[in-house]
Amino acid sequence: MTSALSLAARREFAAGWPAVIAAAVAICVGMTGIGFYSLGLFVKPLQDEFGWSRAAVSGAATFEQFGIFLSAPIVGKLADRFGVKPIAIASYVATPLAFVALSRAGPSIWSWYALWLLVSLAGCGTTPAIWARAIATRFDAGRGLALGLMLLGTGVAAILAPAILGPVIVAYGWRTAVLAMGAAVLVIGLPVSLAMARDEPLADEGRSAPRGNFEVNRATLVLVAVAIALGAIVAGLIVHLVPLLVDRGLDPAEAAGMAAGLGLAVVLSRVIVGFLFDRFHAPYVAAFFLASPAIACVVLLSGGPVFLAALLLGVAAGAEVDMLAYLTGRYAAMRNYGATYGLILGLFSFGAGCGPPAFGWSVDLTGNYQFVLVLSGLALTVVVVAIATLGPYRTQVARD
C-alpha cells in the first residue's frame, strides 16, 4: 500500500505514524472502544445479581451515547482553542475515577444509568471527537488513510474487550472488571496522552483568526443531517439484525454467526474507505459505500442472502465515522475542526441512541420489520444523493 500512496502522503506518514498509533491505542481504551464494546458482557452478571431485565441493563448504551452527544461539541470546541493534549489528559484522569464509581452501581437500575452517563461525560476526551483533530492537523494528503487506521482502535477493542474482560468477570465478578477498565484507561490511555506532541498548526490556523466555532456552510449542514440519519438507521439495523433474522426462522446461534461477518467488514472498510478518500473525490467514494446499507434493506426485504446483508451493514458501520471525520476537514477550516466535528459526532451519537428503540417501536406497532426497512432504505437513498452532491472541497488538499 505504501507504493500506492502519493509522495506527500508518504512524507506525512513518515513524520506522523506515531500519532496514528497513539490515537488508535487511546481510542481503543476510551469510551467508543472498551467503553462501548464491554457493555454486553455485563448483561448476564447484573441480571443475576439484581434481577434486572436484559433490556434494562443494555439501556445503559443509550445513556452512554447521550453523554457523547452532550460532551462532544464542547470538547471539540476546547480542543480547537487549547489543543488536544490538555483535554485528553484531563479525560484520561477523570475516566478511571468514574469507572471506580460505576463499580459501586446498584441496586437501583437508575444508578447504573446515571453512572454510565457520568463515565461517558468523563470520557469525552477519549473519543474520536478529540483524536480526529490530532490526526487531521498532522495529515492532509494522507488524511483519509490515517483516520481509517486511527479508528481501527475501536475494532481492536471489539476483539479485546470480551477476550480479556470476560474471564475477569467469571473469575472475579463484574465489579472487578469495571475497575480493570478504569485501570486500562489510566495505565494505557494517560501515558499515551502525556507522550502526545502538541497539535501541528496547518496553513489556515492564523493566530488572529477566530477558532473553535461550528463552521456554517451548506456542506457542514448536510453533514449534520446525514450524521443523525446514519447514526439512527445503521445503529437500528445492526442492533435489530439478529432478532430480524430470528423472526425469519433462523436459529439464534446461526443468526449471531451471520452477524459476526459484520465485524470483519467494519475493520476492512475503515482502511479501504480511508485509502480511497485520499485517491478520489471523497463524497463520491462515501456515496458509493453508503449505498451498502440501502442495498442491505432491499436484501432483507426480499428475503435475500442474510450474510450479504450483514456484510453490507458492516461496510456502512466502518465507513460512516471515518467519512464524517474526513469530510468535516474538507468542508471546514482546521481552526474550527474540533467544534464542527464535535457537533457532528455528537448528533451522530444522538441518532445512534435513538435508532434502535425507534426500530423496536416500529416493530411493536406494525408486527414486523417491513415498514421500518422500507423507510430506512428511502432515507438512505436521500443520504447517498446528499453526500454525492456536496461539491468541491472548501479547503485545498496537499499535492506532490
Q: Which three cell numbers stand for residue 345?
A: 459526532
In a domain, 400, yes or no: no
Total of domains in the chain: 2
Q: Which pLDDT score, from 0 to 100, does residue 264 have? A: 75
Report residue 258's pLDDT band, with 50, 70 and 90 as the boundaries. low
Residues 110 and 58 in one domain: yes
Residues 281 and 174 in one domain: no
Residues 179 and 227 in one domain: no
Residues 137 and 101 in one domain: yes
Q: 358-361 long-range contacts, Cβ below 8 Å, gap at least 24? A: 358/232, 358/236, 359/236, 359/237, 359/239, 359/240, 360/240
Residues 276 and 239 in one domain: yes
CB 38 within 8 A of CB 10: no
Q: Is the pLDDT of residue 199 over 80?
A: no
In a domain, 305, yes or no: yes
In a domain, 200, yes or no: no
In a domain, 213, yes or no: no
Residues 170 and 312 in one domain: no
User: Which whole number is the average pLDDT over 256-263?
Assistant: 65
Q: Which pLDDT score, from 0 to 100, does residue 50 have? A: 94
CB 139 within 8 A of CB 398: no
In a domain, 211, yes or no: no
CATH number reported for the structural domain that contains residue 325 in this entry: 1.20.1250.20
Residues 278 and 175 in one domain: no
From 235, 36, 13, select the one nearest 128 (Cα to Cα): 36
In a domain, 104, yes or no: yes
Residues 223 and 362 in one domain: yes
Q: Which pLDDT score, from 0 to 100, does residue 175 have? A: 97
In a domain, 369, yes or no: yes
Which of 163, 195, 227 delimits the end of a domain? 195
Report residue 243's pLDDT band, with 50, 70 and 90 as the boundaries. confident
Tens digits of residue pLDDT in 6-45: 888 889 999 889 999 999 999 999 998 898 888 878 988 9
169-181: string of b/e by CB count within 10 Å (b at 16+)?
Answer: beeeebbebbbbb
Residues 186 and 326 in one domain: no
Range of the domain at 276: 218-388
Which of 129, 162, 195 delimits the end of a domain? 195
In a domain, 259, yes or no: yes
List, in order, residues 6 or more apart from 33 with CB less than 8 Å away.
27, 126, 153, 154, 156, 157, 161
Q: Is the pLDDT of residue 211 over 90?
A: no
Residues 168 and 226 in one domain: no
Return mean pLDDT, the chain: 89
Residues 30 and 106 in one domain: yes
In terms of Cβ atoms closer than 10 Å to its own Cβ (0-12, 13-18, 19+), residue 131 is buried
Which of 195, 229, 259 delimits the end of a domain? 195
Residues 226 and 317 in one domain: yes
Q: Is the pLDDT of residue 112 over 80?
A: yes
3-state secondary structure at position 236: helix
